[in-house]
Chain A
Amino acid sequence: MAQRSIEIIVGLFMIAGLAALMFLALQVSGLSPKSAEQTYTLYANFNDTGGLTPRGKVSMAGVTVGSIESITLDRDTFQARVTMSIHAEVDNIPADSAAVIRTSGLLGEQYIDISIGGDLESLNPGDTFYSTQSAMNLERLISNFASGR
């Protein structure tokens, strides 16, 4: 076969490989082209984070509005301090909103749901949620129920 047609076929082969990689990136892993999104940081303290993990999602009314950066232990209060990065366009979260840990489905992963408050002022970058609700711990619930407390 002529050198030129071989070159064309090899070029098409390489393009097919790149297209496959693009497909894996965009369609399979859901990487959006504007991944370098502007975010700001909010904090929340929980008594019990349960199975919450970094990179988990933060949602509001079921819509993902950010992700969990890190989970650390506060040495003074012995509470878990969760750092969240929230998309910059969601900058009007009312200041008395609560961060609640929920589970998606019965056995799914845990995420933070922000239940909206009614305050006219909104949370600024670096603020901490005033009210939080820890993960529902089924074992603790049952033992509380059994001991009648």
Chain B
Amino acid sequence: MEIKKTLEGEKLTVAISGRLDTTTAPELEEALKESMDGISELVIDFTETEYISSAGLRVLLSAQKTMNKQGSMIVTGVNDVIMEIFEVTGFVDILDIQ
């Protein structure tokens, strides 16, 4: 997995490429933790994300909870396979997927 962060003012875009699984999710958690201070708009770009497991969902839920307190979060570029995971877990209702 690779993480690319782009900061424009209070807007942070985090693009994830590869697999968001048990071994890589902690890296994303760490990357978000160190960059979310003062962010009012968080964009998680899934265009290059191939796979997600519950460990990745846990990080997304945690980020959503943080952003609910300080601004908004959107998730973009979700492929069909990952969308199905968001659907069966009800994440389609708690994430703003565009």
Do A and B bind?
no
Question: Taking beta carbons and an 8 Å cutoff, which residues of A are in contact with B?
Answer: none
Question: Taking beta carbons and an 8 Å cutoff, which residues of B are in contact with A?
Answer: none
